[in-house]
Homo-oligomer: A and B are copies of this chain.
Amino acid sequence: MSGSLRAPFLAAANRERSHHTPVWFMRQAGRSLPEYRAARGEGSILHAIKRPELAAELTLQPVRRYGVDAAVLYSDIVVPAHAVGFGIDVAPGTGPVAPDPLRTAADLARLRPLELDDIAYVIDTCRLLVNELPAEVPLLAFAGAPFTVASYLIEGRPSRDYVNTKSLMHNNEPLWHSVLDRLADHAITFISAQLTTGARAFQLFDSWAGALSRADYDHFVLPHSRKVFTTLAERHPDAPGIHFGIGCGHLLESMYAAGPRVMGLDWRTPIDEARQRLGADTVVQGNLDPALVFAGSAPMLESAADILSRNAGNPGHIFNLGHGVMPTTDPGLLAQLVAYVHEHTSNPHGAGNG
């Protein structure tokens, strides 16, 4: 990177100082933006993802609007399972639905390995984006972690209790590990294809892993998520990986042990507490409660100030919400939040160190 401007996102992921603390938002490309609603149309997100020009435009909208420090590929965690023909779609207003859920070894046949040809449209979208994005705004790939994707395939729809998932896990451990191993390979192939085509970092979403006890996470899930991070670190050593889940405070040490460069936090785990538990040098991402953006400017900025204070100037901080942007969020508030974080972490000597 000598001589060029180090992207703040990549600097923070490597605990190096840059212009400012980088900011991006999970689900920053979404219904909170009027330009998104105008371009997106109706129907399943999986159809929009298959149109590279549209997917690239939706990826770029929040970069233009907010001045965020990363572009997140417009995608969905069920894309690989959908692409291999498992039989899963995303129903608007509901979420992922699989009419014929995965319950027996025979169902595993519908979850064949992912080939690059299956996701040609994703690779095309990445190609369009790397030509459009400025050097200081890296493209992020993401994928669902094996547990969270498995929960959708097994439950057949969004769940609150994950009973079928836990039942399969405890009653048919060989099948469970076969499913998760296959899904780990899906995530590796999916993310690796994007990193090869120009994405420069990635996030693994284990959104619902918090439903598990730590003992169950360690035994049934951790080996598979570790395989994703380990394999990607070998193939793409310069691409930092982020690990994130909701309500995963009790799993923090285990999820960090899976091998991410960056630990994503929801709003329930304060940054300073996470570093006490994981080590003072830990790079963290987060973690403003999205409901406080909905609540308005004053609660939002008060919480942002608290987060920056808890970070205490540590260069290893990527600012984000603690969960995805809510569809009813006022985009003006998110723009204000980006400006606030940039202004209050501005470091005129931070450039050119990369």
Contacts and interface: CB of A to CB of B under 8 A. Distances in A.
A306 B213 CA distance: 12
A296 interface: yes
Interface stretch (A81-89, A255-263, A267-275): A267-275
Given A171-B296, A215-B306, A166 B267 contact: no
A163 interface: yes
A249 to B, nearest CB: 5
Contacts of A47: none
Contacts of A298: 170-171
Given A161-B326, A213-B289, A250-B249, A170 B267 contact: no
Number of copies of this chain in the oligomer?
A: 2
A77 interface: no
Count class of interface residues, chain A: 20 to 34
Interface string A154-168: 000000011100110
A278 interface: no
A164 to B, nearest CB: 9
A113 interface: no
A292 interface: yes
Contacts of A267: 213
A339 to B, nearest CB: 21
A247 B167 contact: no
A135 interface: no
A71 to B, nearest CB: 25
B167 A295 contact: yes
A247 B210 contact: yes
Contact of A291 (B167, B247, B268, B326): B167
Contacts of A214: 268, 270
A299 interface: yes
A268 B250 contact: yes
Contact of A163 (B167, B247, B291): B291
B290 A269 contact: no
Interface in A220-258: 247, 249-250
B170 A295 contact: yes
Contact of A210 (B170, B268, B270, B292): B268
B213 A290 contact: no
Nearest to A251: B268
A294 to B, nearest CB: 5
A186 B168 CA distance: 43
Nearest to A302: B170
A298 B172 CA distance: 12
Contacts of A162: 291
Nearest to A161: B291
Given A215-B270, A215-B306, 15 more contacts: A161-B291, A163-B291, A163-B328, A166-B291, A166-B299, A167-B291, A167-B294, A167-B296, A167-B299, A171-B296, A213-B267, A213-B268, A214-B268, A214-B270, A249-B249
Interface of A: 161-163, 166-167, 169-171, 210, 212-215, 247, 249-250, 267-270, 289-292, 294-296, 298-299, 306, 326, 328
